[in-house]
Amino acid sequence: MEDGDARPTAFLSYARSDRERVAQLAAALQAAGFEVWWDRQIEGGAAFAQSIAAALENCSAVVACWSRASVTSDWVLDEAGRGRDLRKLVPVSLDGTEPPLGFRQYHAIDLARWRGNAGAEEFAAVLRGIAAAAGRPAQPAQSVPARRIAITRRRALAIAAGTATAAAAGGAVWWFGPLRRGADAPTSVAVLPFRNLSGSADQDYFSDGLSEELRATLARDLRLQVMAQASSHQFRDRKEDAKTIAARLGVEYLLDGSVRRAGDVVRVTADVIDGATGFSPWSQIFERALSDIFAVQREIAGTVAHALVTRFAPGAGNADQDPVTIAGGTANVQAYDAYLRGRALYDLSADEASERAALAQFDLAIATDPGYAAAHAARARSLTAIANQYGKAGELAALYDAAVAAAERAIALAPELADAHSTLGFTLFQGRLDARAARAPFERSRELGAGEATVLARFALYSARTGRHAEAAEAMQRALQRDRLNPLIHRAAAAIEYAARRWADVIPPARQALAMNPKVSRAHAAIGDALLMLGRLDEARAEYAEEPAADVRLPGLAIVERRLGNAGAAEAALAELVRDFGETARYQQAQVLADWGRRDEAIARLEDALAVGDSGLIYARNDPLLDPLRDDPRFGKLLNRLGFD
């Protein structure tokens, strides 16, 4: 900047065919007090290239003018990329064209309908963008001092070597501006799925896995409120801009990035984006040998956490701890690769084959690194899922025993791994049907996983089903804050209300789950159950009829039809339940028989359910459909055997 002028400067990057449109922008900038520098004033040849390169390096903001022409221009892409790397990119769209891949996480100011009015909001947004990129407060257009704006035609530029290199390896700490929250509240951030730029969809599991590892690491810092995977994954395709995504997630910042894996080298780009402005005040590129992927994770997570919180809570929290040590991870690339493949299959949850393929990958990870605690915890969850969904009566005990052993091994290897404690509690409760034994690991998981939505939701459901309703509501509220776009979390919130017998409060979260995913199972049945308790029988029947999961649809219909006086329809629903599900639905059969007043048969079905390990029994303590059995000593003894206090 000449003459000691410390005011922000900007560099406009555009395609030749857009010159007339950009000239309109230049005229408005001049009218607003900007000094506009045209490329025709520069001599050609080396002097031109040197002048433009210098302008790129020294400006405060690079204004990328996207259009149908410029998105395919290598020169515009180079200059915009340099602006992104220097953390001073201000994108605009001249004709409504979406920015190209690699730039869509940055909010583009839409100038398609702008006709040169210097007082228009679109133009004011450009001025605010330049000010934000420069770290300065925006000023009204009429009072902005003169600034130099470099407007360049597209020509081949010799950009200095190393322009793709970001901040030093140790990472730079950048001020992100004032937080939009209370002084003591944690900084909120969502980790978006990192884009796979490796050229092969087969590598998606790797970029997704890296995103999740970073998310889990950041969530362990109590100064950060980190959005959970399910909500963040809603934006995998980036169809909305950063400001919209941040608003929908309810977070202040987004961590976005990409992964390019080529042979034994991995290149990771990470960007922190301010959700209020859509601009990136921090970015960094890491290029390492694949054997150093764990060092890359540590660098990204540690640098981002430090940058986000150090200005507001210096010296607090645990962001400086080693995430691999905390997370029960591995230093073995082959084990890590198998673990990520297994997790991708587990999340798919398509059928029994995919579940068992996931288990095989977790077993491979453990065989490669027997000390990999996270893989042992994942194995426990996989075994539990197989038992719950596909296990036969005679093999359930062995599957659950193996799951408990795997979770216990994970805890032994990594005592601070919240997910391992949560998994053990879940398996003891739902597998072994031992509510009493599950309490300690669930309590420990809450202490260690206060920032992890899945851990909080599991604890909340356990607390609700054991009668600890205040704790359940508090944990579920925190889970909802961290996973607000996950329909399963909203469905779980409905279950919390049902366990507390707040019937009317069951319906809104269940409706929200269906609004997010109309095909989500058990939400219609949850609404039907609430309406049944409220005495709104016709509405309850309609909800049960919409339920896709037959194991909860049929008992609901059997009960509501009986209450409506339709004995034949009720008996038909029960007969279908027995025929199609047999001993795997003993608990649901007991619900129907208890409601019908057939107490002895209901008690017998519950005893059968306990004998075969029917996980439906975890609902028995609070289930209103079993209320006709509450005064029966046999029912009390059964609850005691289940570990309910």
Mean pLDDT over 128-145 rounds to 58
Question: Which range, of 93-107, 175-189, 215-229, averages the lowest pLDDT?
Answer: 175-189
Residues ≥6 apart with Cβ < 8 Å to 630 = none
Residues ≥6 apart with Cβ < 8 Å to 30 = 36
Query: Is the separation of the CB atoms in 70 and 18 below 8 Å?
Result: yes
* CB hemisphere CA count around 405 (13 angstroms): 7
Query: Is the separation of the CB atoms in 537 and 564 below 8 Å?
Result: yes
pLDDT for the residue numbered 178: 31
Mean pLDDT over 399-411 rounds to 96
Mean pLDDT over 304-331 rounds to 53
Q: Is 61 left (phi over 0), alpha (psi -120 to 50) or beta?
A: beta
Q: Give percent helix, percent strand, percent coil of the chain, each to the nearest 5.
A: 60, 10, 30
| Mean pLDDT, all residues of the chain | 81
Crossing angle of helices 503-516 and 523-533, in 10° steps, is 160
Q: Which residues pair with 148 in a beta bridge?
A: 35
- Which pLDDT band, with edges at 50, 70 and 90, does 35 fall under? low
Pick the residue with more confidence: 163 or 212? 212
Give the separation between CA 376 and CA 363, rounded to whole angstroms.
Answer: 8
Structure tokens at 223: 């100064």
Crossing angle of helices 373-390 and 396-413, in 10° steps, is 160
Residue with tokens 């669930």: 442
pTM: 0.64
Question: Is residue 256 classed as helix, strand or coil in its secondary structure?
Answer: strand
Question: Which range, of 27-36, 73-82, 238-247, averages the lowest pLDDT?
Answer: 27-36
Give the separation between CA 429 and CA 433, rounded to whole angstroms.
Answer: 5
Residue with tokens 């390896």: 169
Dihedral of CA atoms 210, 243, 23, 96 in degrees, nearest 10, equals: 90
Residue with tokens 């209370």: 182
pLDDT for the residue numbered 411: 96
Mean pLDDT over 212-238 rounds to 75
User: Does pLDDT of 136 surpass 80?
Assistant: no
10 Å CB burial of residue 180 (0-12, 13-18, 19+) is exposed
Give the separation between CA 379 and CA 372, rounded to whole angstroms.
Answer: 11
Angle, alpha carbons 126-130-134 (nearest 5°)? 165
Q: What is the 3-state secondary structure (H, E, C) of 273-284?
A: EECCCCCCCEEE
Nearest to 496 by CA among 485, 508, 486: 508
Q: Tens of pLDDT along 583-606?
A: 889 999 999 999 999 999 999 999
